[in-house]
Amino acid sequence: MAGVNGDKPGIIMKAHSAIGDFYRQEFSLDNAEDFAEMLSLNEVLTAHAGTQSLPEIRRNDHWSPIFSKTNSTRRG
Protein backbone atom coordinates (compact mmCIF):
# COMPACT_ATOMS: atom_id res chain seq x y z
CA MET A 1 0.00 0.00 0.00
CA ALA A 2 1.53 3.31 -1.10
CA GLY A 3 2.85 5.42 1.74
CA VAL A 4 3.15 2.53 4.20
CA ASN A 5 6.60 1.11 5.07
CA GLY A 6 8.24 2.93 2.17
CA ASP A 7 5.85 1.54 -0.47
CA LYS A 8 5.48 3.68 -3.60
CA PRO A 9 2.52 4.17 -5.96
CA GLY A 10 2.92 3.33 -9.62
CA ILE A 11 1.23 3.80 -12.99
CA ILE A 12 -1.30 1.27 -14.29
CA MET A 13 -1.22 2.66 -17.83
CA LYS A 14 -0.23 6.07 -19.16
CA ALA A 15 -3.00 8.22 -20.63
CA HIS A 16 -0.87 9.10 -23.67
CA SER A 17 1.24 6.02 -24.31
CA ALA A 18 4.08 5.67 -26.79
CA ILE A 19 5.75 2.49 -27.98
CA GLY A 20 8.76 1.85 -25.77
CA ASP A 21 7.37 3.61 -22.68
CA PHE A 22 8.77 1.87 -19.60
CA TYR A 23 7.32 2.48 -16.16
CA ARG A 24 6.89 1.01 -12.68
CA GLN A 25 3.37 -0.24 -12.00
CA GLU A 26 3.89 -0.48 -8.25
CA PHE A 27 6.64 -0.89 -5.68
CA SER A 28 6.72 -2.62 -2.33
CA LEU A 29 10.14 -4.20 -1.74
CA ASP A 30 9.98 -8.02 -1.92
CA ASN A 31 6.18 -7.82 -2.20
CA ALA A 32 5.19 -5.98 -5.40
CA GLU A 33 7.86 -4.79 -7.85
CA ASP A 34 5.96 -4.62 -11.15
CA PHE A 35 7.24 -2.96 -14.34
CA ALA A 36 5.63 -2.51 -17.77
CA GLU A 37 6.70 -1.57 -21.28
CA MET A 38 4.35 -0.48 -24.09
CA LEU A 39 4.81 -2.72 -27.14
CA SER A 40 2.01 -1.68 -29.52
CA LEU A 41 -0.76 0.92 -29.77
CA ASN A 42 -2.89 -0.68 -32.52
CA GLU A 43 -3.54 -4.36 -31.80
CA VAL A 44 -6.13 -6.62 -33.42
CA LEU A 45 -8.01 -8.94 -31.06
CA THR A 46 -9.33 -12.37 -31.97
CA ALA A 47 -11.96 -13.90 -29.71
CA HIS A 48 -14.66 -16.57 -29.95
CA ALA A 49 -16.96 -13.99 -31.57
CA GLY A 50 -14.43 -13.26 -34.34
CA THR A 51 -11.63 -10.82 -35.12
CA GLN A 52 -12.03 -7.13 -34.40
CA SER A 53 -9.86 -4.11 -34.88
CA LEU A 54 -10.94 -1.59 -32.26
CA PRO A 55 -9.42 1.84 -31.70
CA GLU A 56 -6.69 2.19 -29.12
CA ILE A 57 -6.04 -1.44 -28.24
CA ARG A 58 -2.62 -1.50 -26.62
CA ARG A 59 -0.24 -4.36 -25.91
CA ASN A 60 2.17 -4.10 -23.06
CA ASP A 61 4.63 -6.44 -21.46
CA HIS A 62 4.60 -6.45 -17.69
CA TRP A 63 6.81 -8.27 -15.25
CA SER A 64 8.21 -8.34 -11.77
CA PRO A 65 11.59 -9.51 -10.54
CA ILE A 66 9.52 -11.57 -8.09
CA PHE A 67 7.28 -13.30 -10.68
CA SER A 68 7.62 -14.38 -14.32
CA LYS A 69 7.07 -12.18 -17.38
CA THR A 70 3.61 -11.96 -19.01
CA ASN A 71 2.03 -10.15 -21.96
CA SER A 72 -1.18 -8.20 -21.68
CA THR A 73 -3.55 -6.59 -24.15
CA ARG A 74 -5.72 -3.77 -22.89
CA ARG A 75 -8.11 -1.33 -24.46
CA GLY A 76 -7.74 2.16 -23.10
Neighbours of 2 (CB within 10 A): 11
Can you give the residue ranges of every domain in the chain?
Answer: 1-69
- Model confidence at 68: pLDDT above 70: no
Residues in the chain: 76
Can you tell me the distance from the alpha carbon of 30 to that of 52, in angstroms, rounded to the nearest whole number?
39
Give the pLDDT confidence of 14-67 residue by residue, as tens digits. 788 899 998 888 888 888 888 888 888 888 777 777 776 666 778 888 878 887
pTM of the entire structure?
Answer: 0.63
**CB-based contacts of 33, cutoff 8 Å, min separation 6:** 24, 26, 27, 64, 65, 66
